[in-house]
Amino acid sequence: MDKKTLFSGIQPTGEFHLGNYLGALKNWVDLQNSGEYNCIYSIVDLHAMTIDYDVKSYQEKVISNAIDLLSIGVDPQKSILFLQSQVPEHSVLCWILNTIVPVSELERMTQYKDKARKNDKNINMGLLDYPVLMVADILLYKSEFVPVGEDQTQHLELTNIILRKFNNKFGEYFQKVNPIYTKGTRIRSLQDPNRKMSKSMGEKSCLLLNDSPDAITKKIMSSVTDTGPQKSIHMSPGVDNLFTILELLADPEIAKKFNVDYHNRVLKYSELKTALADVVNKHLEPIREKRRELENDKGSVLKILEEGREKAKSIAEQNMKEIKNLVGLI
């Protein structure tokens, strides 16, 4: 049976955090290694231009993030890894889709409203159009599956709205798109656990994949919890977050032991945090090691991106021919 296509993207923010990793990136690797999908992964460098960014360091950031993806285990022998801006069909399809998306659908996107509030001096057209480019990314490869964190749910719902409009207007072409979530679909900020972990929440709230072991330990030890194991069965968001990370990375026996202690109300959070810091650091160590290797071999990284571009481009060109024909373009 033909494998289904799966697409996902990440913005080159320079440094990925544990939310990106546990919500999406780790799953990119697991899904790739399952052998069940044609996996296409992109560094979406056009998307990240919609908020203020440093032009001088941008190329360097993109390459550094490509190194991160290879270090966590994205394997160019098994997946296509490429830069969005190097396959211009993304922008062409975005334009075609723009002609069928009501502006009102875009104005109601919560991420747009959020970003517009935070960047009120630069509410540019790209910011509003951001979700349509994301829809184009996915549909250009006729992808049916998209591994992402929970914060992308609304954008994926929009993808299905837009593709239905397209199919109604131009003929059945795109299949329904399905998100793939993990248990880490919403990793919370260490300092304000009612918010998601994000770089914009400040240094201490975020565990970066490239943090030193010492920094990881310090940030986890100072994370917000509560006054002690509660009578209620519901954990507070901060504690729940630490358990989620533990369960995703630790030996199940370790996570189980702390869970039992919590429910018996004998758990000391300092012990949970020490164990968690150890687990996170152990998990990140081989990733750091691989990163050190690749940093000294940028030539191979550029070659991998070039090969990825060629593979993505050949699928994109073929599909764009069909799409152009459907919408009446020569």
Active-site annotation holds for 196: yes
φ, ψ of residue 14 to 5 degrees: the values are: 100, -50
Alpha helices in the chain (DSSP H): 18-20, 26-34, 55-72, 89-98, 103-107, 110-118, 125-140, 153-170, 213-221, 237-249, 252-263, 269-295, 298-327
Among 197, 242, 284, 305, binds ligand TYM (CB under 6 A): 197
Position 137 contacts ligand TYM (CB under 6 A): yes
Q: Closer CB to ligand TYM, residue 128 or residue 274?
A: 128
Among 5, 20, 32, 191, binds ligand TYM (CB under 6 A): 20
Kindly write out the interface string for residues 66-105 of this chain, putting x where it contacts ligand TYM by CB under 6 A and - elsewhere: ----------------------------------------
Among 31, 70, 138, 139, binds ligand TYM (CB under 6 A): 138
Range 194-200, long-range pairs (CB < 8 A, 24+ positions): 194/237, 196/19, 196/149, 196/151, 197/17, 197/18, 197/19, 198/17, 198/19, 199/13, 199/15, 199/17, 200/118
Interface stretch with ligand TYM, choices 57-65, 131-139, 236-244, 285-293 (CB under 6 A): 131-139
Q: What angle do CA 91, 29, 248 make, to 5 degrees?
A: 120
Q: Closest CB to ligand TYM belongs to which residue?
A: 23
Position 127 contacts ligand TYM (CB under 6 A): no
Of 199, 218, 290, 324, the catalytic one is 199
Contact present, 81 and 72 (Cβ < 8 Å): no
Position 211 contacts ligand TYM (CB under 6 A): no
Position 179 contacts ligand TYM (CB under 6 A): no
Closest C-alpha to 144, from 321, 1, 8, 313: 8
| Active site positions, annotated | 115, 196, 199
Contact set with ligand TYM (CB under 6 A): 7-11, 19-20, 23-24, 44, 47, 134, 137-138, 146, 148-149, 151-152, 184-187, 196-198
